[in-house]
Amino acid sequence: MTKRLENKITIITGSGRGIGAACALRYGQEGAVVIVNDINAENVAKVVGQIRAAGGRAVAHPCDVTDPAQVQAMVDRAVSEFGRLDVLYANAGGSMPKNTHLTSVEEYRQIIALNQDAVFYGIHAALPVFMKQRSGLFLTTASGAGQAGVADLAAYGAAKAAVINLMRVIAVEYGGMGIRANSISPGPMGTANMRGWLATLEGGAEAFEAQVPSGRLGTEEDIAVAAAFLATDEAFFINGVCLPVDGAVSALLASPRPGKTLK
Ligand SMILES: NC(=O)c1ccc[n+]([C@@H]2O[C@H](COP(=O)([O-])OP(=O)(O)OC[C@H]3O[C@@H](n4cnc5c(N)ncnc54)[C@H](O)[C@@H]3O)[C@@H](O)[C@H]2O)c1
């Protein structure tokens, strides 16, 4: 594998499993130094071990990204240990699919705290570092649910829409200082936790897959490919975008042959 991210100091939140873990492994393979973060310390240690076993460099930094002090401490550690920070990838997130009228205020706040507030805490902690360096990339894993309405995901969809625009604002405000901010918007995913939810719904994973023009559900690696590319120096002019990685789902409009692909 090419080493497009050689020596880039990178924090990836929620990288103990799923999309974040796939991105951490990919970044490690491409030469980045990965600060693996998750609230689950055991999974953090596992991913650090996998990156090192593949010849990459990684350190463990388990913490709770919904606590601004812990996020600040993580950014401070990156700078004190490695002298800089090149990428802050706010990937930690999650949903609690439920009808909106059944969602409690407490549940709404939890979802906003993890998917929206935590992304801001990272930006707030790392901006002074990026400004001093006159470089740095903020990345976040948004969602198709932040680009269009998905039933049962009111708080989650609102938070993901918010972080898509937060990245645009940062790009516009700090682009002149060499700072970039982009989001990646995964579409229909076939991840383990997604398949668990799909299995409870009518038609299961097949009904979901049938709606995807590209003919399959997405994988964690599909997202990692996009996340690695956006972190390369060649991607400097890509700033303030929300990149859908969704097999053309966000390009699709309901039509007489919705989602039909030619085979
Ligand atoms: N899987 C999908 O279908 C899908 C689709 C669109 C967007 N996304 C987004 O992609 C991102 C990753 O999702 P995933 O599918 O890999 O989920 P996942 O649940 O497998 O992984 C999320 C990780 O975040 C960690 N985490 C949760 N709360 C945390 C906290 N307070 N501090 C630190 N870490 C915390 C979890 O322990 C977990 O390891 C999320 O932002 C999610 O919203 C996922």
| Cβ neighbour number for residue 260 with a 10 Å cutoff | 10
Tokens of 104: 């409690």
pLDDT at res. 226: 98
**Over the stretch 79-123, which tens digit does the pLDDT of each residue have?**
999 999 999 999 999 999 999 999 999 999 999 999 999 999 999
Show Cβ contacts of residue 197 under 8 Å, excluding neighbours closer than 6 positions: 97
- Residue 55: pLDDT over 60: yes
Cα–ligand 1 centroid distance for 117 (angstroms): 14
Q: Which runs of consecutive H residues, i.e. helices, occur in 7-142?
A: 18-29, 41-53, 68-82, 105-112, 118-133
pLDDT at res. 178: 98
| Cβ neighbour number for residue 40 with a 10 Å cutoff | 12
Domains and CATH numbers, the chain: 9-251 (3.40.50.720)
Q: What is the pTM of this model?
A: 0.97
- Give the chain's mean pLDDT: 96
Tokens of 159: 């938070």
pLDDT at res. 262: 66
pLDDT at res. 243: 98
**Section 47-65 average pLDDT:** 98
Residues with a CB atom less than 6 Å from ligand 1: 13-14, 16-20, 38-40, 43, 64-66, 91-94, 114, 141, 143, 186, 189, 191, 193-194
Cα angle 96, 97, 102 (rounded to 5 degrees) comes to 95
**Over the stretch 118-148, which tens digit does the pLDDT of each residue have?**
999 999 999 999 999 999 999 999 999 999 9
Cα–ligand 1 centroid distance for 92 (angstroms): 5
**Section 233-257 average pLDDT:** 94
Q: How many CA atoms lie within 13 A of 200 on its CB side?
A: 6
Q: Which runs of consecutive H residues, i.e. helices, occur in the chain?
A: 18-29, 41-53, 68-82, 105-112, 118-133, 154-174, 192-198, 204-209, 220-230
Please name the amino acid found at residue 95.
S
The residue whose C-alpha atom lies closest to atom 41 belonging to ligand 1 is 93
| Cβ neighbour number for residue 261 with a 10 Å cutoff | 11
Q: Could you say which DSSP state residue 243 is in?
A: E
- Residue 258: pLDDT over 70: no
- Residue 259: pLDDT over 60: no
> In which band, very low, low, confident or very high, does the pLDDT at 1 lie, cut at 50, 70 and 90?
confident
Q: Which of 209, 203, 195, 213 is nearest to 249 (CA)?
A: 213
Residue 136's beta-bridge partner residues?
A: 179
- Residue 260: pLDDT over 80: no
- Residue 166: pLDDT over 70: yes
Tokens of 33: 């130094």
> In which band, very low, low, confident or very high, does the pLDDT at 197 lie, cut at 50, 70 and 90?
confident
Cα separation, 203 vs 261, whole angstroms = 20
Catalytic, 108? Answer no
> In which band, very low, low, confident or very high, does the pLDDT at 201 lie, cut at 50, 70 and 90?
confident
The residue whose C-alpha atom lies closest to atom 8 belonging to ligand 1 is 143
Catalytic option among 27, 108, 156, 174 = 156
**Section 146-151 average pLDDT:** 96
Cα–ligand 1 centroid distance for 9 (angstroms): 21
Atom of ligand 1 nearest to the CA of 115: 41
The DSSP-derived string for 27-55 is: HHHTT-EEEE--S-HHHHHHHHHHHHHTT
pLDDT at res. 193: 81
**Section 202-216 average pLDDT:** 92
Q: pLDDT above 90 covers what percent of the chain?
A: 91
**Section 16-40 average pLDDT:** 98
